[in-house]
Copies of this chain bind each other. A is one copy, B any other.
């Protein structure tokens, strides 16, 4: 179903019911652009820390508008052994509510707009009939305005004719108007004393008894409530998703989550830790299918197969809806999630063909959002501290601005494979494949004039000197009260009184012990999600993280990422293949990436 302003209000009940019934929800957003920075490579460096990446995305992506939101609800029907799906497509536009409401400005990126246009995106639906919305602060302000006006009418507040900073008291009637005002007062007095019901002229004045007055006030109150709800608009859908506490699935969903919170809850906090806190309040359970698909055992099966898995699901109406319509993309994302979840069931003893969205098997994937193009950190951990890979094999190199990647390869030609991550025109990170070469490289550079080599540790030290604020996760994570900045906590509790300590139960690391998660125990990243206790050799991870340049920014402007989804979805066709048999069928799937991350932790 497609929703615009006119039909939105009447459709809220079915939307609420769909969310209420669902086992899980899939979401997807379409934006007016991706990045307003000067160059992509400057914005997404392969050695970004999660905090750095968050700051960049917040700075360079939040001025775009999320103008189409796809929501797909999935309910498993036990009796039929199949999922029932409902897809919703919302066009969204910040139509100014009144003269005083904020006049939102947003950026459009012509490549993104052109891509959406080529997909038949209907911009008139957005700009002419988009559903409005308010964030929580705007909603509060509006409610206060209404409250204030009501209390004034009821005589409880300051009369509106008294400006707070001027002299108190009623307006002085200018001499030349006193006659006129006097005559009006006489007429009103006469009316109150007469038996006439009302007197119409330019102002209608009516006599009402107490009961009628209450009725009229009630009507007015209800009208105001409706106006207010109309203004809150699409945010009500997000509030319902949030309050449901259901699992929310997305594909490469970090930007979707950031935009959703930014537009419908609050301006994004400056720091990553605060963002995590807000995110856990709004979406207590997230799952990113891109992370799931890039992880063993799914990742080993990257072969393109057309999507044929709609059997058993209520199909999306492909006649009227389209690829890259947010609702359709959410639908595909949900399908892939189901396929991958069910595939996990095939590793159980005995194997299960259906895995519920609430299964402990899925918990390792909770609240971990795929991080694009970071070499050694596959995901952002929303519900706890992030991975902190040691970067002992990484060098920070500065050089003249004429240098190209080939110059760096030449410089390090004696050191075997290297991986270059550009920072700017005159600096880059260079990852060596062997740790023992790091000191050799640093030593040999001491007499160089045109370039300079430092260890990553030295780089960090110099950088931290330049940074005043250097907040770190406490050892015990969320329990530390210092993270609860007043504003965030209040946003959180206002949203739906979920206690902060309650979030601990969402962390997979604690419950892994009790899980029935046996078949894929060697699945790599679930074992190193807590960097402090488990430092084991990783394999296969690199390929999953080392995205190509094209994959990073273009993932929303090509069909590449959907192909990945198709693959995963196709697994449902033969849920009993073992990883071994798949590896035999597709030997190239185990090929390592061009550059291996050195096994130093």
Contact = CB atoms under 8 A, between A and B. Distances in A.
Instruction: Give the oligomeric copy count.
Output: 2
Nearest to A95: B114
A427 to B, nearest CB: 18
Interface stretch (A74-82, A121-129, A235-243): A121-129
Given A117-B128, A166-B406, A94 B123 contact: no
Given A36-B105, A165-B404, A110 B96 contact: yes
Interface in A156-195: 163, 165-166
Interface string A202-235: 0000000000000000000000000000000000
Contacts of A104: 109-110
Contacts of A406: 163, 165-166
Contact of A108 (B105, B124, B402): B105
Interface centre among A123, A166, A402 (most CB of B within 10 A): A123
Interface string A100-119: 00011111111101101100
B402 A165 contact: yes
Interface centre among A33, A96, A121 (most CB of B within 10 A): A96
Contact of A106 (B107, B124, B126): B107
A32 B110 CA distance: 13
Given A123-B123, A123-B124, A109 B103 contact: yes
A365 interface: no
Contacts of A404: 165
A103 B110 CA distance: 6
A54 interface: no
A105 B33 contact: yes
A466 to B, nearest CB: 29
A240 to B, nearest CB: 25
Contacts of A407: 165
A473 to B, nearest CB: 35
Contact of A114 (B96, B106, B110): B96
A106 B105 CA distance: 10
A105 B96 contact: no
A343 to B, nearest CB: 37
A166 B32 CA distance: 40
A337 interface: no
Nearest to A94: B110
30 contacts: A32-B108, A33-B105, A93-B110, A95-B110, A95-B114, A96-B111, A103-B109, A104-B109, A105-B108, A105-B109, A105-B110, A106-B107, A106-B108, A106-B110, A107-B107, A107-B108, A108-B108, A114-B127, A117-B124, A117-B127, A117-B128, A121-B127, A122-B124, A123-B126, A123-B127, A124-B124, A163-B406, A165-B402, A165-B404, A165-B406
Interface of A: 32-33, 36, 65, 93-96, 103-111, 113-114, 116-117, 121-124, 126-128, 163, 165-166, 402, 404, 406-407
Given A96-B110, A96-B114, A106-B107, 20 more contacts: A33-B105, A36-B105, A93-B110, A94-B110, A95-B110, A95-B114, A103-B109, A103-B110, A103-B111, A104-B109, A105-B108, A105-B109, A105-B110, A106-B110, A107-B107, A108-B108, A117-B128, A121-B127, A123-B123, A123-B128
